[in-house]
Structure 1
Amino acid sequence: MAIFNLIYLSCGMVGLLLLAYKIRALRSSWGSPRVVALISTVSFSAFAILFAAPANITWINWVSGVPNFAALLVYSLVVGFAGSSFALVLFWRYPVVQAWQRVRLIVVSYGSIIAAMIVLFFKSEVDEERQVDFDTFYATQPTVAVFLFIYLVATAVGCGGQAYHCWQGARDEAISARPWLARGLRWYSATGLFPVAFAVIKLFVLLMNWFGERSFDVLSLAAPLMASLSIFPLVIAMALPVFGPRRPSPSLWVRRWRTYFALRPLHRALVHVNPGIVLVAPGKFLNPHHRVRRQIIELNDWRWALTPYFDLTVGEAATSLARGASLPKDEVAAVVEAAQLRAAGSSGGRSRAPKRRPASEIVDGTDLAAEHDRWVRISRAYQHSPIVDAAVADAARVEAAGGMD
């Protein structure tokens, strides 16, 4: 009994958490047929699994005062889940007006099935409480057999229809163009297959019982446990279309941290220009996207502050040395920029009167990725390029010689 309680209660609590999340997330859309169908599907599923725990079965039977009333309650909830999940996918696949023509039939049919189950239950002799083997214990009683048969067929048809329409919907051209939505529908399809398998196994065992074969009864005990696990693909199915598109790419996350650490030495070297603008937003310290974005903003701000102090002789010397070393065009630009920043950022460079360069000579990145790459090249040149060291040193010697004259 302990394992039954553990599985049913755990899965039921997951379903209740999902229900609470969906009610909160969709509270502004109450009244929409799709939302009503969605909330009904999650509610029926969560409470059916929760009430199927043997501990809750005993409590429900005691509170109701009707032996095995929990079986009627749980089975009715399962039928409600099958019908609402079938209606839900029809609302997803078709316009509301068109879907409602079919959903109306589902509501009437499944409502009638639950009503018939209630009548059959109370017409049956089920006075001995059975927590986990109600089906096999009473299988040969005619009214119970019909009760079980319509319950299982309704479950198989409803959940099978859900699985089929979800799978077909995922293949629709309009939906397949939205990969996360298509993945979510495939998981919904898988969710429907669990109750279908459960119903098929139960029907098989019921048929065997009528032929007097009891060796398959153990399958009837295992089938509900398998069906309860459908709550997990249901959670995944509902989460994928919402959170999938927001999921940060692990490779992009790693690349952003690499960019951050590549820019960090240059950022630290120039922070003295205006340390007041350095900012890390609350809660974003470990967010590499935010950290790199702030680095780029601050580096661009410091660059513009230093631009009036750029020395044309430093730029010309760095350009000449870089071209002499046969560097690619991007690397030449990075070396020249790094040399200018090094010279202007030093106390000597900024002690001179500012000489603003023409705006046309100042090149800014226009694409985010290109901007990242440009600043990474500048940072590496600033730290490691011997050409930057040579150009700045030559300019310093020229300036010193001019001062002696």
Structure 2
Amino acid sequence: MTLSDIFWIIAVVLGIGMCYKLPAVLRGGRNPLARQVGGLLLAACAVFTFAAPATIAAVNDLTGIPNFSAPWVYSLLTGFCASCLLLIIKWRGGSPQSIRRATWWVYGSYGALIAALWICFALGDHSVERLRDLDTYYANTPWMREMIVLYLLGHTVAVLITSALLWTWESRVRGTGLLHAGVVLLGIGYAMNLLYDIAKLTPVIARWNGRTDLDWMSTDLAPPIAGLVGVLIALGFIVPHAGERMSHRFAARREYRALGPLAHALHRVPTASAPVALPRFAPLELRLTRRKTVLRDAVRQLQPYIDPAERDQAAQFHRNQGRTPDEAHALAEATALTAAVERLLANSDQSPDQPSRPTTESLSGDLVAISRALRRLPGARAGRWTTSDRRESVTP
């Protein structure tokens, strides 16, 4: 596998990450963090795409300028470093004034650095095309030498500042799960970025002293380090967001399934309005919202048929059986609801001497617990609180 193949594979991985974040960027509207994460992944994808030797040769041929890819790739890499630094600054938070000052400092310094790279390239002699060893080949060429040193120093400074910010922040986010994991991945990635800078700068300095035996560090060692760094940094930014989204999805799926017994028990209760029809492959969050809405509507329809005395006796019965107050409450609500369903279906109105109590708030806030309680109700079937159970609950 060639270096171009490796860089293209990494670019594809980063592109997948960017596509994963795209919906969040589009939904985020004016959310600057969402836009910056998407922009950062786009910049990283561009760096590895244009840094592949085959792409370097294609860009040089397209422009007709030997080594035109050099300042172009260096500018992309510098912009990527600035984007990472800006994102970490805003991610960590702080006063609006300090964030604004840091942002303008990054824009100004790295914008000037990119302009300096192109000026040096324009002034230097770069007539011999070099696809993999440009840094060492032109290490002693006036102006090209300055361009190479500027991009390496700019990269090193960004890495040092970002690493310091990450590792001071790491102690503050311990115990936050995936956010901490993302910060650690970023910290490792930027620590390895320093190895990349060492692998690039060492042979350049060796060339200044007439040595060529360390060129392998720039051509053979630095590219694999860069590839691993790109993947670690991309994962560091993606993991917290992807993990949070997956966590929310798993929680929604658990809640949807937990509400199944209650939905089955109340499915015969007529609702005030027809449920909203959903497509066959509607998102889980939307289906969960509809299920909760339908259940709450059914609970409201059942209120005239709920016997408060029966519910209170059921709660006392389950407390006498050793249930916790929360468990006894959920079981009592489940008993009252299923009994109310039977009364409604039998078309028997509630007795005037047993007025209905408002129950919508207590039920709608604890639907999952009530649904789970339906499976644990005593008696021959869920919803049947037997006569013997009733007598036992009032026995002193």
Q: Same fold (TM over 0.5)?
A: yes
In the alignment, which residue of structure 2 is the partner of 1:341?
Answer: 340
In the alignment, which residue of structure 2 is the partner of 1:160?
Answer: 160
Residues 25/303 of structure 1: CA separation in 2 closer, same or farther (3 Å cut): closer
Give, as a single letter, the amino acid of the residue that structure 1 aligns with 2:168: Q
In the alignment, which residue of structure 1 is the partner of 2:354?
Answer: 358
Residues 368/144 of structure 1: CA separation in 2 closer, same or farther (3 Å cut): same
Structure 2 counterpart SS, 1:3? helix
In 2, Cα distance between equivalents of 1:277 and 1:215? 77
In the alignment, which residue of structure 1 is the partner of 2:67?
Answer: 68
Structure 1 counterpart SS, 2:351? coil
Residues 146-225 of structure 1: matches in 2 within 5 Å?
A: 146-171=146-171, 186-209=184-207, 210=209, 212-214=211-213, 217=216, 220-225=219-224
In the alignment, which residue of structure 2 is the partner of 1:6?
Answer: 8
In 1, Cα distance between equivalents of 2:49 and 2:289? 43
Residues 121, 147 of structure 2: 8 Å contact kept: yes
* Structure 2, unaligned runs of 5 or more: 391-396
Structure 2 counterpart SS, 1:388? coil
In the alignment, which residue of structure 2 is the partner of 1:397?
Answer: none
Give, as a single letter, the amino acid of the residue that structure 2 aligns with 1:301: R
Residues 359-398 of structure 1: matches in 2 within 5 Å?
A: 359=355, 366=362, 370-378=366-374, 380-381=376-377, 384-385=380-381, 388=384, 390-391=386-387
Residues 361/148 of structure 1: CA separation in 2 closer, same or farther (3 Å cut): closer
Residues 381/236 of structure 1: CA separation in 2 closer, same or farther (3 Å cut): same
Give, as a single letter, the amino acid of the residue that structure 2 aligns with 1:47: A
In 2, Cα distance between equivalents of 1:336 and 1:76? 69
In the alignment, which residue of structure 1 is the partner of 2:270?
Answer: 274
Cα distance, 1:117 vs. partner?
3.6
Give, as a single letter, the amino acid of the residue that structure 1 aligns with 2:132: V
In the alignment, which residue of structure 2 is the partner of 1:48?
Answer: 47
**Comparing 212-221 with 382-391, which one deviates more in the overlay?**
382-391
Residues 230/282 of structure 1: CA separation in 2 closer, same or farther (3 Å cut): farther
In 2, Cα distance between equivalents of 1:190 and 1:326? 55
Structure 1 counterpart SS, 2:150? helix
Residues 338, 382 of structure 1: 8 Å contact kept: no
Residues 79, 110 of structure 1: 8 Å contact kept: yes
TM-score by length of 2: 0.70
Cα distance, 1:95 vs. partner?
4.0
Residues 166, 186 of structure 2: 8 Å contact kept: yes
Residues 53, 132 of structure 2: 8 Å contact kept: yes
In 2, Cα distance between equivalents of 1:8 and 1:353? 69
In the alignment, which residue of structure 1 is the partner of 2:56?
Answer: 57
Residues 153/251 of structure 1: CA separation in 2 closer, same or farther (3 Å cut): same
- Residue deviations 1:207-232, cap 9 Å, x none? 45555353661653342343245454
What is the number of equivalent residue pairs in this alignment?
377
Residues 337/379 of structure 1: CA separation in 2 closer, same or farther (3 Å cut): farther
Residues 120, 143 of structure 1: 8 Å contact kept: yes
In 1, Cα distance between equivalents of 2:334 and 2:44? 64
TM-score by length of 1: 0.69
Cα distance, 1:157 vs. partner?
0.9
In 2, Cα distance between equivalents of 1:344 and 1:68? 84
Residues 51, 57 of structure 1: 8 Å contact kept: yes
Residues 85, 158 of structure 2: 8 Å contact kept: yes
* Structure 1, unaligned runs of 5 or more: 395-405
In 1, Cα distance between equivalents of 2:118 and 2:262? 71
Residues 379, 385 of structure 2: 8 Å contact kept: no
Residues 202, 223 of structure 1: 8 Å contact kept: yes
Higher Rg of the two aligned structures? 1
Structure 2 counterpart SS, 1:366? helix
In 2, Cα distance between equivalents of 1:326 and 1:278? 40
Residues 207/266 of structure 1: CA separation in 2 closer, same or farther (3 Å cut): same
Residues 48/355 of structure 1: CA separation in 2 closer, same or farther (3 Å cut): same
Cα distance, 1:61 vs. partner?
0.8
Cα distance, 1:128 vs. partner?
2.7
In 1, Cα distance between equivalents of 2:340 and 2:201? 79
In the alignment, which residue of structure 1 is the partner of 2:393?
Answer: none
